[in-house]
Amino acid sequence: MISVSIGALAIGFILAPLAMGVFLSYRILRFPDITVDGSFALGAVITARMIICGVDPVTATALGMLGGAVAGLVTGLLITRFGIEKLLAGILVMIGLYSVNFWILGQGSYPYNQDITLYTYASSVAQTVFGGTAMQSVLGLSHSPVRTVVMLLSGVTAALIGWLLFWFFRTRFGLSMRAAGSNEQSVRALGANVSVRIIAALAISNALAAFSGAVWAQYYATVALDEGMGMLVVGLACVLIGEAFLRQRSFGVRLFGAVLGAAVYELIRSYIMLTGLAGNYFKLITALIVLIALLLPARIRALRQQAASAGGV
Amino acid sequence: MLALEGISKYYEGHGAEAINALEALSLRFAGGSFVVIVGSNGSGKSTLLNLIAGSERVASGRILLDGEDITAQPEHQRAARIGRVFQNPFRGTVPDMTVEENLALAARRGRSFDLGFALTRELRDEIHARLADLGIGLEARMTQPVAALSGGQRQIVTMLMATWERPRVLLLDEHTAALDPQSADLVLQITGQIVNTGNLTVLMVTHSMQQAVHFGDRLVMLHRGRLALDISGSEKNRAQPGELIHRFEELRRAELLDETVGILLKEQYV
């Protein structure tokens, strides 16, 4: 059980940047940007191509992230420069990326066998710290050293990214970006360019999704073209679960809520998977989680009002 | 000094006919003057403010601010020198951001939004001081989202945002029309406080004849895109709401006559 939970948290923290990226599009720009489905895979395939070419995994992952930023930039330009509807712009770029990803990878999928990836690094850290990579028992609890290392490293990385974003949104540019998503008119009245802020937000959002995709593929040792499918909805589930805990809090706290949401989401997923459910069924469960998270607050408010008016009579 | 030199604006009507929103309007507003603009619906009041702010472009004519031709400048370039408050209290502020965050944005109006920390201690102190100056207790609500404020309070925050960086021109576009009478009074009182500081040219559009006679040092009435009345000084001070309404009626009657003549002509000749 502990081992499963550590594994779930490792994946949760790997997905946390994606969740924060979705928070940016969904909560700041106020639309769910499906470009992330494409850029999640884009990050993975660029990183794989670079690793195959012998680039070290850290640089390769950074380049994958950069690719995601470019994808977000394209969606942003379609919206601001060409006036394409926001959702449609995301859909177009996502579909287009599928071919781009195939072109970059040159095949439908690629297994990391002998390549040096971030996972290789994590293994050697585990070797040093725990003296081995096989399942072992610490204080009577059995765990997989590599998973534990991945959980710790990706947790620290997620916290670092969250802290950077938290800091960013307290700067003058970050503050104006939040304003641009909420009230374009007020930002124009301040003499600031709304389009630049929309494009920048989408670039950051998709860079984060690409980062998650790149690390995810290295953790599972497989790069697949369709690995990004449904990732927007996963990100939404993480954001909404996080907000269920931290709804009334300030903006910065809700941003970290996405990290918490990603961890909780993966814990839920891993326990449901223990029941032997096939992975493909979990897409429906994810969709239901999002649906419930969207509907529940309004239902609770309605019930409270009913209770209040019933109490008043 | 804000000068409008023969500005015109047309809108596409139904069919081929273009509707004149403003027709070769020329006006000069001195620095520090408080001008009240009245006119019936479709008289061109809002168009006038849109053209000055730059959210719409003139068809012909020039707009000069302190002698500089700003006719071709886009809205965001003019923003540093022209502040604006809209009728809708939801338009000027960012509702889910706090009062101090909104004002921190306003403090950068017309300057770059860089990666410096937005709410420095000095700025926070200044925000607190300026809110306290208003004397309505808003300084105690700095860290609350603007959405939690009343419509009147929101308009006051918007007004403070519009004037924070001391613009040359302040456009008030029926900024009390959506408020209840009590809030409207409060907003007008604060308007007076803010306007009295500095060499600010204020253009206030209003539907209220009471406001039109009690506020400002000059009154401009527009009708069908043309200047119908322009009074200032003692003439403005003597003006009564009844007289203004009478003047409106006169204009309307003249128009009705025109239309009747048109119909008569049509009946005889078509």
Given the structure tokens 């019936």, which residue do they identify?
Answer: B40
- What pLDDT does residue A280 have? 76
B105 with A179: Cβ contact below 8 A: yes
A185 with B97: Cβ contact below 8 A: no
Question: Averaged over A263-270, what is the pLDDT?
Answer: 92
- Pick the more confident residue, A8 or A278: A8
| Nearest CA-CA partner of B26 in B230, B199, B169, B236 | B230
- What pLDDT does residue B41 have? 77
Give the one of B97, B116, B162 whose C-beta lies nearest to A179's C-beta.
Answer: B97
A191 vs B contacts (CB less than 8 Å): 76-80, 109-111
Which pLDDT band holds residue B267 (cuts at 50, 70, 90)?
Answer: low
A191 with B118: Cβ contact below 8 A: no
Q: Measured between alpha carbons, how far is A188 from B265 in angstroms, rounded to an integer?
A: 50
The H-or-E segment that residue A295 falls in is helix A282-312
A168 vs B contacts (CB less than 8 Å): 115
List, for residues B113-167, the tens digit of each pLDDT value.
888 898 999 999 999 999 998 888 999 999 999 999 998 999 999 999 998 888 8
- Give the range with max mean pLDDT: A100-114, A293-307, B38-52, B222-236: A100-114
Query: What amino acid is encoded at B154 in this protein?
Result: R
Nearest chain A CA: its distance from B121 CA (Å): 13
Residue B42 has pLDDT above 80, yes or no: no
Full-prediction pTM beyond 0.80? yes
List, for residues A178-208, the tens digit of each pLDDT value.
999 999 888 888 888 899 999 999 999 999 9
Residue A272 has pLDDT above 50, yes or no: yes
- What pLDDT does residue B18 have? 67
A186 with B93: Cβ contact below 8 A: yes
ipTM of the complex: 0.84
Contact indicator for A100, A201 with CB cutoff of 8 Å: no
Residue A273 has pLDDT above 90, yes or no: no
Nearest CA in chain B to A194: B76
Q: Measured between alpha carbons, how far is A241 from A267 in angstroms, rounded to an integer?
A: 12
Residue A295 has pLDDT above 90, yes or no: no
| Three-state SS annotation for B194-232 | HHCCCCCEEEEECCCHHHHHHCCCEEEEEECCEEEEEEE
Strands B60-65 and B68-69: antiparallel
Token code pair at residue A61: 């992952």
A191 with B94: Cβ contact below 8 A: no
List, for residues B52-70, the tens digit of each pLDDT value.
999 889 999 999 999 899 9
Q: Measured between alpha carbons, how far is B161 from B84 in angstroms, rounded to an integer?
A: 9
Establish how many alpha carbons lie within 13 A of residue A14's alpha carbon, considering only the half-sphere containing its beta carbon.
28
Contact indicator for A203, A72 with CB cutoff of 8 Å: yes
B78 vs A contacts (CB less than 8 Å): 191
Task: Count CB atoms within 10 A of the CB of residue A241.
Answer: 22
- Pick the more confident residue, B208 or A155: A155
| Cβ of residue A83 closer than 8 Å to a chain B Cβ | no
B82 vs A contacts (CB less than 8 Å): none
Q: Measured between alpha carbons, how far is A163 from A157 in angstroms, rounded to an integer?
A: 10
- Using a pLDDT cut of 70, give the percent of chain B over it: 90
List, for residues A234-246, the tens digit of each pLDDT value.
999 999 999 888 8
A182 vs B contacts (CB less than 8 Å): 94-97
Given the structure tokens 């700095």, which residue do they identify?
Answer: B142
Contact indicator for A171, B114 with CB cutoff of 8 Å: yes
The residues pairing with B38 across neighbouring beta strands, listed in sequence order, are B221
Angle at A292 between CA A154 and CA A3, to 5 degrees: 35
- What pLDDT does residue B270 have? 46
Contact indicator for A162, A246 with CB cutoff of 8 Å: no
Specify the 3-state DSSP secondary structure of A234: helix
- What pLDDT does residue A313 have? 44
